[in-house]
Amino acid sequence: MATKKVITKEDWEKRLNDVKIRKEDMNRLVMNFLVTEGYVEAAERFRLESGTEPDIDLATITDRMAVKKAVQSGHVEDAIDKVNDLNPEILDTNPQLFFHLQQQRLIELIRNGKVDEALEFAQEELAPRGEENQSFLEELERTVALLAFEDVTRCPVGELLDVSQRMKTASEVNAAILTSQSHEKDPKLPSILKMLIWAQNLLDEKAAYPRISNLSTAALEDPAV
Amino acid sequence: MDQNQYANELIGSYFLQQWRHCSKTLTLTPSNPGTESDSTRPDSEYEDEREECPTELDTLNSSGGFSVVGPDKLSVLYPNVNLHGHDVGVVHANCAAPSKRLLYYFEMYVKNAGAKGQIAIGFITSAFKVRRHPGWEANSCGYHGDDGLLYRGRGKGESFGPVCPTGDTKYTTGDTIGGGINYSAQEFFFTKNGVVVGTVYKEVKGPVFPTVAVHSQGEEVTVNFGKDPFVFDIKAYEAEQRANQQEKIEYISIPVDASHGLVRSYLQHYGYEGTLELFDMASKNTTPPISLVPENGFNEEDMYAMSQRRTLRQLIRRGEIDETFAKLREWYPQIVQDDTSSICFLLHAQKFIELIRVGKLEEAVLYGRTEFEKFKRLSEFDDLVKDCSALLAYEQPDRSSVGYVLRESQRELVADAINAIILSTNPHVKDAKCCLQSRLERLLRQLTACFLEKRYLNGGDGEAFQLRRILNSGKKC
């Protein structure tokens, strides 16, 4: 294996110094994060404090956040109404999302002990969908299994009652709304951080140089000897 | 020099350097008023946009007389009977393939396979002797039509793998063959009639020239360097390569709240107090709530003098420099004590710029005469004083070559400088250097430097990291 090129800390710091990063680009990156993650008020204030323009209309964020919050709090029917108010096509063109929302509704009914209502709902609303689609049917069966157990902690599908399931559904609906608004569903910052790790991993094969391993502190380490 | 002065000078000169960087990269050319001309950037990051591309065949260096290049410089004919292996008609493009990008591609159409169909397409370096088929000698790579094999300077041809979907890798009259370079994967790839035939590792380093070669009587080919649409869907291929690369990157895991923490740290560092408050409030209400407890990453010292930093930033963003001076004298007299420091220069220069902005030219001249006078004695500020003074020469200064100082970015620079210097007055700060950049900035610089070094080690091949391109792209980066 070829020996690695060694770059001293001093040399590397010089190169870091020569890099040109524009403040306005960093501001845009931060704004993109605030907007995509739904921090509406913070985004508004950031616009005032930094003069950075958001890349989408902030008003649309409030609506989207309301839907997300409704799902996160278990008010799925309310969320569905809101999504349809925003754009009826979203659920029309997204059968999987719609099924997951209905499934969440079922989970909430079960969670609240409304057994009869839950069964009725499962049979009338979800079973027909299950007939059309094998994976929907499997999901339905898993969900209904919750009813078979008195002690949910012993139920193999008990995780469906966990708050993380709500989060999953909320994320899904959030992404669908963003897509319908032709906006990317993810902020760019996490990808950039991954790019940094990826670039360092590649460079590690050929050179020894000061790395940054801790993304939170962004501290420059000494090159591995 | 005491601690204060050291910090002041360190920070002051850092921002002056940033100003100088700006003047080089944001200079408008008089012919493009009001637009930021990307092509004037000398930075190595932006070389990508200024690389030359092949447009036609070179007629000077082709193998003396064996082949004939057409008048449009896009076709080659081998008119005579060939005698031996050193009379190949090799012709290459008028310049090397641009390399500071993901892919390069060109195509060759076989108009006539002539007597023996001994045609080749490939790439050569400038060290290659243009008498033999590309691939027969070192410093070259070639895909030959008569046997359908790949040659890369080892004498014997190799068959492509995986096998070409159309079954046969040989080519003849009527076929369109493409040659490409994937800089990221460091490979050559070839296509036949719109389908990828195969790829091979790119051993040759450095600039390579797209090349075609003909060897038997009557062989004739035409080349396409992009003037006409390609038979192969290169855009789709590029998108596919990018998607593959992106998939690998997305697979990498990062700490869950890393982005959140960096954004918070950014807001703290630059003193965006209002935003930070609302951000923290909203973060508490997320489900699940994001922990704001400072871990090893968070530096509570960044909350230092938050209100004051925010106030000063707002004043500078509004161009109220007199007020800025007043507040600094009140809160941090040690910063403005030495009126000939770099920090004071930044402020005085900004005041001058603000006067010009509102058309108060006489007042500006007066101000310049009194304030710039003391800086004239210090040669380190000369070039920047010149840039500022030059504003007076123009009726429409914003359209001039020094118009960049009238932009928001200049106010931002001064605001960031003041922000940094106040951070440095924190008694807990050990080294003023950490006040210069937010953590996010440090990461972005590291990312850029790694890409540049990786490219350098690849012989100059590949894209640089460009934040701007990522911000402007509609899809994921």
Do B263 and A26 make contact, defined as CB atoms within 8 angstroms? no
Residue of A46, A51, A193 with shortest CB distance to B317: A51
Categorize the per-residue pLDDT at B163 as very low, low, confident or very high, splitting at 50, 70 and 90. Answer: low
Predicted TM-score (pTM) of this structure: 0.79
Window B:296-325, CB contacts with A under 8 Å = 296-298, 310, 313-314, 317
Name the CA dihedral angle for A98, A104, A106, A109, rounded to a multiple of 10 degrees.
Answer: -140
Q: Which residue's structure tokens are 């941090």?
A: B332
Q: How many CA atoms lie less than 13 Å away from B423 in the CB half-sphere?
A: 27
In single-letter form, the type of residue at position B336 comes to V
Mutate to test the interface with B, among A17, A49, A53, A186 (most CBs of B within 10 A): A49
Q: Do A25 and B272 touch (CB under 8 A)?
A: no
Query: Residue A215: its chain B contacts at CB < 8 A?
Result: 254-255, 258, 262, 297, 443
DSSP A222: P
Work out the average pLDDT over B107-118.
91
CB A176 within 8 Å of CB A101 = no
The whole-angstrom separation of Cα B54 and Cα B50 is: 13
Residues of A in contact with B475 (CB under 8 A): 184
| More confident of the two residues B414 and B31 | B414
Strands B150-151 and B103-113: unpaired
B contacts of A212 (beta carbons < 8 Å)? 442-443, 446
Contact B221, B208 (CB under 8 A): no
Q: Which residue has better confidence, B12 or B165?
A: B12
Beta bridge partners of B179: B106, B190
Judged by CB atoms closer than 8 Å, whether chains meet at B409 and A24 is answered as: yes
pLDDT at position B253 is 92
How far is it, in rounded angstroms, from Cα A127 to Cα B145?
Answer: 61
Q: Which stretch of DSSP H or E encloses residue B20?
A: helix B3-25
Question: Which tokens sit at A114?
Answer: 């409304």
Residues in chain B closer than 8 A to A29 (CB atoms): 440, 467, 471
Quick check: B454 and A192 CB within 8 A?
no
Which residue of chain A is at minimal alpha-carbon distance from B313? A49
Alpha helices in B50-120 (DSSP H): none
- Strand (E) positions, B114-243? 120-124, 140-144, 150-151, 176-182, 187-192, 195-201, 209-214, 219-224
On whether any CB of chain A is under 8 Å from the CB of B48, the answer is no
Looking at residue B162, its pLDDT comes to: 55
Distant-in-sequence, close-in-space partners of B247: CB < 8 Å, separation ≥ 6: none
Comparison of pLDDT for B105 and B67, the residue scoring more: B105
| pLDDT recorded at residue B462 | 87
Smallest Cα–Cα separation from B180: which of B170, B192, B169, B168?
B192
pLDDT category, B36, cuts 50, 70, 90?
Answer: very low
The per-residue pLDDT for range A65-111, each reduced to its tens digit, is 899 989 999 999 999 999 999 889 999 999 999 999 999 999 999 88
The answer to whether A166 and A71 have CB atoms below 8 angstroms apart is: yes
What pLDDT is recorded for position B292?
A: 58
Q: Which residues of A touch B448 (CB under 8 A)?
A: 19, 21
DSSP code string of A182-208: T--SS-HHHHHHHHHHHHHHHHHTTEE
Q: How far apart are CA B150 and CA B59, in angstroms?
A: 26
Query: For residue B42, is pLDDT > 80?
Result: no
- pLDDT greater than 70 at residue B165: no
Confidence of residue B110 (pLDDT cuts 50, 70, 90): very high
- The beta-carbon neighbor of B445 closest among A19, A46, A209 is A19
Q: Which segment, A106-115, A184-193, B410-419, is predicted with the most confidence on average? A: B410-419
Q: What is the pLDDT of residue B43?
A: 40
What does the alpha-carbon distance between residue B381 and residue B17 come to, in Å, rounded to a whole number?
A: 11
The number of C-alpha atoms within 13 Å of B465 and in the hemisphere containing its C-beta is 25
Taking all residues of chain B, what is their mean pLDDT, rounded to a whole number?
85
pLDDT tens by residue, A189-199: 999 999 999 99
The domain locations on chain B are 3-44+256-453, 54-224
Q: Which of B228-232's residues contact partners 24+ apart within 8 Å by CB, and which partners?
A: B230/B105, B230/B107, B230/B178, B231/B107, B231/B176, B231/B178, B231/B191, B231/B193, B231/B194, B232/B105, B232/B107, B232/B176, B232/B178, B232/B191, B232/B194, B232/B195, B232/B196
Q: What is the pLDDT of residue B155?
A: 75
More confident call, B258 vs A38:
B258
Given this structure, which CATH class describes domain B54-224? mainly beta
CB contact under 8 A, B450 and A200: yes
Which residues of A fall within a CB distance of 8 Å from B259? 33, 187, 189-190, 193
User: Tell me: the pLDDT tens digits for B425-446?
Assistant: 998 888 888 899 999 999 999 9
Residues of B in contact with A48 (CB under 8 A): 274
Q: Please report the ipTM that was assigned to this predicted complex.
A: 0.82
| Confidence at B289, pLDDT banded by 50, 70, 90 | low
